[in-house]
């Protein structure tokens, strides 16, 4: 599974994501070295996101649950972030749980942006000052 990378600055189009916050997946689903993607939006009729590599277990303080420290191979201002496992989709292996989540995300969001020729950032995630990746629904719920 290969996610397209946006070649330019995406258009910010806030779009609620009710699927990811309800995803029931634990940190044991992933392991160090796994390649994952954090889905961020749509481009060219497909979902796109930031590819990352799982580095080490880490506490995800915003949700008060076990998470993973991730490395963004493209670097930038946040080369490393800590994320909850429900935010992650495997790229390095085709596991049923991740494929089901990916398909649900595609079915839910791609029709909305089917006619768009723009790269769309749906605003699902922010990174706080302590480098925690936080889903918009977790942020609003006070997690």
**pLDDT at position 34, please?**
97
| Overall domain count for the chain | 1
Per-residue pLDDT of the chain (143 residues; tens, 9 = 90+): 555 555 578 899 999 999 999 999 999 999 999 999 999 999 989 999 999 999 999 999 999 999 999 998 887 677 899 999 999 999 988 899 999 999 999 999 999 998 888 999 999 999 999 999 999 999 865 55
Residue 2 placed within a domain? no
Element (H, E) at 4: none
Strand pairing of 120-121 and 65-71?
unpaired
Residue 5 placed within a domain? no
Residue 72 placed within a domain? yes
Long-range contacts of 123-126 (CB under 8 A, 24+ apart): 123/12, 123/13, 123/14, 123/15, 124/15, 124/17, 124/20, 124/39, 124/40, 124/41, 125/38, 125/40, 125/87
DSSP bridge pairs for 89? 37
Q: Which two tokens stand for residue 44?
A: 């060219």
Residue 22 placed within a domain? yes
Residue 6 placed within a domain? no
Q: What is the span of the domain harbouring residue 25? A: 11-140
Give the predicted TM-score (pTM) of the model. Answer: 0.89
Residue 4 placed within a domain? no
Residue 21 placed within a domain? yes
Residue 3 placed within a domain? no
**pLDDT at position 116, please?**
84
Q: Which two tokens stand for residue 23?
A: 């995803």
């Amino acid at each position: 599974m290969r996610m397209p990378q946006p070649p330019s600055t995406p258009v910010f189009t806030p779009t609620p994501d009710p699927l990811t916050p309800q995803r029931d997946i634990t940190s044991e689903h992933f392991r160090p070295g796994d390649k994952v993607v954090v889905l961020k939006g749509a481009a060219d009729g497909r979902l796109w996101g930031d590819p990352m590599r799982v580095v080490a277990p880490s506490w995800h303080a915003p949700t008060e649950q076990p998470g993973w420290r991730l490395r963004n191979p493209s670097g930038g201002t946040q080369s490393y972030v800590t994320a909850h496992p429900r935010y992650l989709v495997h790229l390095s292996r085709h596991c049923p749980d991740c494929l089901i989540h990916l398909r649900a995300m595609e079915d839910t969001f791609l029709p909305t942006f089917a006619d768009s020729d723009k790269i769309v950032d749906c605003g699902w995630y922010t990174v706080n000052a302590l480098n925690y990746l936080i889903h918009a629904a977790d942020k609003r719920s006070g997690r």
